[in-house]
Structure 1
Amino acid sequence: MCCAAFAADDSKAQPIRYERMAFEGAEFHVVQVDLREAQVGAVWRGEDGKPLMTFANALEHCRSKSLEPLFMTNAGIFTPGIAPGGLYVESGAVRVPVNRNEGKGNFHLKPNGVFFLDTEGAHVQDTELVHEDAVRKMLVATQSGPLLVGDGKLHPGFRRESENKKVRSGVGVRTPLDVCFVLSEGEVNFHLFARLFLESLQCQNALYLDGVISQFYMPGKPEFQPGLEQFAAMLVVTAK
């Protein structure tokens, strides 16, 4: 697992901060990550080349490398073969290339996007703006869709009155050193979910990760312990 880390300043911020947030009648679990104090990595396959698939396996994998996760979540939409659905970068190496194909489902609800980390910090960007020279500089990356917020604007396909309500998870970037992971407590539509990132969390860019299967892991919190859900890649936060 490669972790993206950045030089700390003199402040003593917490690596991660959890809060339960209410927004327009809905409840959300929010984990804010300070990249001055934390590092973000990604895991998909174990040493045997097989997908890790569960938080329990990912924990064992990380601990075998003397890493103790403070937080984990699934890293985006994946294929039936338990492979990331689009661009996936781990340890600075591209494991799955950018997916610019047309198709059905949330991943292909264009624009979709990429959450990635490079030497400057964390970013969420429209896939169409992700070029090969940028990919070569990425330390960690996952592609998913739809793009919830891009440059301060909601996805053009979202409607306030939409009845398409599901449990949803996503990631937003407030600054290159401040990242917000969000999991809805109940079912919400994309419009409300995106507005939470933009209006409450002040994230000018945010990406949908996945739906009802989405989970968080945080040690010491009974509601966020490893479950039976299976994923492809997972994002892992550890202290620096």
Structure 2
Amino acid sequence: MIRLVIFLILLPFVTAAEPCETAEHKGSTYVICTADLSRHRIDLHLTGPDGSPLYTFAAMEAAGGAALFAMNAGMYHRDRAPVGLYIEDGHQSAPLVTRAGPGNFGMLPNGLLCIEGARARVIESRAYAADPPDCTHATQSGPMLVIDGDLHPRFIPDSPYTAVRNGVGATPDGERVHFVISEGPVPFHDLATLFRDRLGVRDALYLDGRVSKLHAPVMGRSDRGLPMGPIVAVRPR
């Protein structure tokens, strides 16, 4: 009886799924980290208590606590200020950008990740502008990878333009959020089809391809390199 009780107490911890796993798709390897918003919370981080950019995962954890995993969370200017909309703990510090422009961010349609309590969604930027939801955290980037089940119209299969890329997508019910990073250079098309065809995501957003980084202690990984702007972290509720 005593052994049975001990087993039942330990069972949830033994069988709990790890938040990050590797997967193969179209000949490339990816890491997929999933936040279950019934058990996890998603926070955005940009600056520390002194107002200076955090730059690194280590500084992010020193300011906000240990994370199950974290990623770079959108494009930024040289001073690390976000290029588009940025909301952290209900405070908006950068405005929405809906115009076309140079680079990946301006390759419309672009979009944003919006956290609404225990739900999350990826929203196309002009749809957000027409009816803004109450996001406690939000970060804008671009281009959209998947828009209502369709791939971005400018993506080309077998494109020669490749990079280490990362993105984010939420399940249609808003209860699970998948953060994905490639282990090597991939085209936009492959990353987008992973979200749509493997993960069942109808809306997904590109985060970056030059500074794509993952912090995943469960995998013994915390990428270094160029200093980051916005960082997204997932922690237990």
| TM-score, L = length of structure 1 | 0.88
Counterpart contact for 2:68–2:218, Cα < 8 Å: no
- CA deviation digits over 1:154-203, x for unaligned, max 9? 00111113111111000011130111000001111111110000000111
State yes or no: 1:50 paired with 2:52: yes
Deviation for aligned residue 1:82? 0.7
Matches of 1:111 and 1:70, distance apart in 2: 31
Deviation for aligned residue 1:78? 0.9
Deviation for aligned residue 1:221? 2.5
Deviation for aligned residue 1:109? 0.7
Counterpart contact for 1:56–1:226, Cα < 8 Å: no
Q: For residue 195 of structure 2, what is the aligned residue in structure 1?
A: 197
Deviation for aligned residue 1:212? 3.2
Counterpart contact for 1:15–1:35, Cα < 8 Å: no
Matches of 2:100 and 2:177, distance apart in 1: 29
State yes or no: 1:154 paired with 2:151: yes
Counterpart contact for 2:114–2:135, Cα < 8 Å: yes
Deviation for aligned residue 1:102? 2.6
Q: For residue 22 of structure 1, what is the aligned residue in structure 2?
A: 24
Deviation for aligned residue 1:213? 1.5
> What SS is found at the alignment partner of 1:131?
helix
- Computed over aligned residues only, the root mean square deviation of the Cα atoms, in angstroms, reads 1.8
Q: For residue 181 of structure 1, what is the aligned residue in structure 2?
A: 179
Count residues in correspondence. 224
Deviation for aligned residue 1:71? 0.8
- CA deviation digits over 1:59-104, x for unaligned, max 9? 11113xxxx2111100111111211110000011111110123311
- Matched AA of 1:84: P
Q: Structure 2 stretches of 5 or more lacking a match?
A: 1-11
Percent identity (aligned): 34
| TM-score, L = length of structure 2 | 0.89
> What SS is found at the alignment partner of 2:63?
helix
> What SS is found at the alignment partner of 1:191?
helix
Matches of 1:19 and 1:52, distance apart in 2: 27
Matches of 1:98 and 1:111, distance apart in 2: 13
